[in-house]
Amino acid sequence: MDNKIKYCPYCGEKILKEAKKCRHCGEWLTEETKKAAEIKKREQEQASFEKWKEEHSEKQKKNNASDILISILMYAIFWGGIALIVHGTVPSDTRMERAIIKDMQECVRDKTTSYTSLLLGDEAAEIASLFFDSSISDGSIFEQFKKNNSITIESKWLWSVGKIHNRNTVDEGTVVCFGFLGIVIPFVEWEDFILKDEKKTN
């Protein structure tokens, strides 16, 4: 066998001893060239993978953006709907006012009952003078209330607030009622309104 000839380990064809690549099958024959070829191949694969990844992430970003947009839209529609429903359930001013007056009258009757049971004391005497000379009817309590207090209802988009104003709480008033989701909750306290006329106290 010629000194300059060897056989390709891949295809068995005769090739030059110093050949780095088989001219028959195209295989690399030395370790260095083989490795270099592998590295180059891997680099190419890596590059094409990077390119694919980049394109893919661009698409993904677009998808994410539209997903977020849809989520925001759904969120807005959902809460908008809820707000509309709640808005429709805000109690009317008339209902609020009636609840406040009724609560105030109950407050007066409770107070009067507790004072008459005590039968003694300056405050009892004062209250008694207010109510016992006339009959304690809801009408007379309301008449007395109207002379010294006014009611305002602040109807908001989602709820309603009722206030009592009198000479002590002129502009700001005292919050005595809350309306929300079709429910009216009055919480009038004895201290929130005045029944005695100004003339009598001065």
What residue ranges bind Zn ion (CB under 5 A)? 8, 10-11, 13, 22, 24-25
Q: φ, ψ for residue 131 (rounded to 5)?
A: -110, -25
In the complex, the smallest distance separating the C-beta of residue 5 from Zn ion, rounded to whole angstroms, is: 13
- Please give the DSSP secondary-structure letter assigned to residue 28: B
How far apart CA 1 and CA 143 sit, in angstroms, is 133
Nearer to Zn ion, 8 or 108 (CB): 8
- What would the two tokens of residue 154 be? 């602040």
Q: Is 178 exposed, middle or buried (0-12, 13-18, 19+ CB in 10 A)?
A: middle
Nearer to Zn ion, 23 or 167 (CB): 23
3-state SS assignment for residue 194: coil
How far apart CA 149 and CA 120 sit, in angstroms, is 28
Nearer to Zn ion, 37 or 185 (CB): 37
In the complex, the smallest distance separating the C-beta of residue 46 from Zn ion, rounded to whole angstroms, is: 28
Q: CA of 168: how far to CAs of 31, 108, 149, 198, in Å?
A: 101, 18, 10, 11
In the complex, the smallest distance separating the C-beta of residue 17 from Zn ion, rounded to whole angstroms, is: 14
Nearer to Zn ion, 13 or 54 (CB): 13
In the complex, the smallest distance separating the C-beta of residue 60 from Zn ion, rounded to whole angstroms, is: 45
Nearer to Zn ion, 19 or 124 (CB): 19
- SS3 of the chain: helix, strand, coil, percent, to 5: 55, 15, 30
In the complex, the smallest distance separating the C-beta of residue 36 from Zn ion, rounded to whole angstroms, is: 18
